[in-house]
Amino acid sequence: MLEVMPRKLLPRLGALALVVASVSCREVAEPVPVAAVAPVEAVAPVEAAPAPLYSPFVVQMTSELPFDVISFKDVGMSVDPSARHLVYEEVAESLSIALAADSDLPMSSAVHYSSHMTDAAAHLACGAEHIYVDMWTPAGSERWGYSLWSGCSEEERFAHREVEREGHADIDALTRDIAVALRRAVSTGCFQRRC
């Protein structure tokens, strides 16, 4: 078979044989005993964030303001599913009362139920004289968190805060703080992150 191969190939085969011989003659490192290898701990799969839930309760403003409607989105409130509907209603009612409570800048409103608002598609318009409230409970804390949006872009988030709860189920601290942030935005005319 070597007689059939072209003469140019023979020197290359000889060089290849030398490389293979030199690799096989090298000392082979001792294998690591299996007991010396640290066991690999199982990693728990990362759970996907739950889809946000939209409250069917909205605050409809009845006074002259730059916005007409306030809607609520649960982005991690850690509320028992059996009590969720009641908590959403309580948030809307409590905010309506807190908005009316300030004698310097009273904002009159009424709470309405709209099953249409529980659909994420109802929140795609962005803006349109609408305030969006995202609410959550930070993991392992006794706090409420919220952010206020005048639209859908990060620049339209004009408040992002966490407040201490006054009781395990008490949401008045949350809604009072939201009312203060809304009054500040109305008085300054700033419904953006930077003004």
Question: Is the pLDDT at 34 greater than 90, yes or no?
Answer: no
* Average pLDDT value for residue range 44-71: 82
Per-residue pLDDT for 191 more than 90? Answer: yes
Q: Where do the structural domains in the chain lie, given as residue ranges?
A: 53-188
- pLDDT score for 41: 56
Instruction: Tell me the per-residue pLDDT of 138-165, one tens digit each, with 9 for 90 and over.
Output: 887 888 999 999 988 999 999 999 999 8
Residue 103: the pLDDT is: 76
Give 129's pLDDT tier (boundaries 50, 70, 90). Answer: confident
Residue 1 binned pLDDT confidence (cut-offs 50, 70, 90): very low
pLDDT at 3 over 90: no
Question: How does DSSP assign 6-56, residue by residue?
Answer: -TTHHHHHHHHHHHHHHHHHSPPPPPPPGGGSPPPPPPPPPPPPPPPEE-S
What is the average per-residue pLDDT within 10-28? Answer: 45
Helices 172-188, 84-101: axis angle to 10 degrees equals 50
Q: How confident is the model at residue 90 (pLDDT cuts 50, 70, 90)?
A: very high
Which tokens in the block code for residue 192? 């953006």
Are 167 and 183 spatial neighbours (Cβ–Cβ below 8 Å)?
no
Q: Is the pLDDT of residue 69 over 90?
A: yes
